[in-house]
Chain A
Amino acid sequence: MSITQYNGSAIVAMTGKNCVVIGCDKRLGQQALTVDMNFEKVFRVKDKLYVGLPGLATDVQTLHDRIRYRVNMYDLEEERAIQPDNLAHMISNMLYQKRFGPYFCEPIIAGLTEKDEPYIMGMDLIGCLSSAPDFIVGGTASDNLYGMCEALWEPDLGPDDLFRSASQALLNAVDRDAMSGWGAVVHVITPEKTETYHLQGRQD
């Protein structure tokens, strides 16, 4: 078993028409033992910009702390809101700095650009960026998520339909993964507002 699978996680980001969705499961485990059922792995960076951190929980938390530090400093020094692609490169750079002793985490960025265009980006644990026009998945349930997303994603979905597709993909993917689950959180990002939904899911 890889150390990235020690705590268990599932994250999905999907693009729609002028909107994006990013969601994660809530489990924190130690191998097969569940320790916390309220452990969120998607974090708000700014309005309309979220980052999902699947992987080893300790690195998820360290990375989140460091991203928050850097983004707050960016805010103060640059006096403008950080853009999704800036954030992606910032995190990628942060990860590559630890090239030979990496954080065991493969971040996923989801947000809307200045022009309210959807933006999603994934990367590996040493910061190699990979973009996709449709969806990006990560975590122990990523294989399941690929299948679900491949089946449910359609181009130009509105926020409601996109929320439905992403939620179904997430819930059904974690149901077949022992390492993730215990409900889910989904953030629906539209130009006007960001809505956060807590999904019940199977509690076993």
Chain B
Amino acid sequence: MGGYFSDIFNGSKSLLIGMGITFREFFKPIVTVQYPYQTIKMSARFRGHIELIADEEGKPKCVSCGMCERACPSGCITLGSVSVEIEVDGKMKKKKVLSKYDLDFTKCSLCGQCVENCNFGAIEFSKEYNLASSNKEDFHFNLLKRLEERNV
């Protein structure tokens, strides 16, 4: 019988303690960000989808070696290149030039192996995260076109 009454007493006390805690928490400042009115800056290492990096002339740094394509676990990168003759020091030399760099973001798992395997520092992570769409085609990125658009 004593257990019954002590249970009532201790139980009510525990409820009051809990209420005290929630009451104090109630007056603490709001910690949530009011998205989409407020946004936070992504951290420097945030891994978004990839983007090509341009050199001084605005051309992609990529030499189309295909390391990223091979490293990708999901096979979401497709590269294309054409051979063009350019003049270097008065001589005509053949050089591979990137003609296509497609990213199928629907398959990408954002592991970052492509960036890590790139020996020329030609790709980087985008900080873009507002990528919602109901159209699948919106996630097939033509990175060369995106680079040109950024240059303009």
Do the two shown chains form a genuine complex with each other?
no
Where the two chains meet, the residues of A that have a C-beta atom closer than 8 Å to any C-beta of B are none
Where the two chains meet, the residues of B that have a C-beta atom closer than 8 Å to any C-beta of A are none
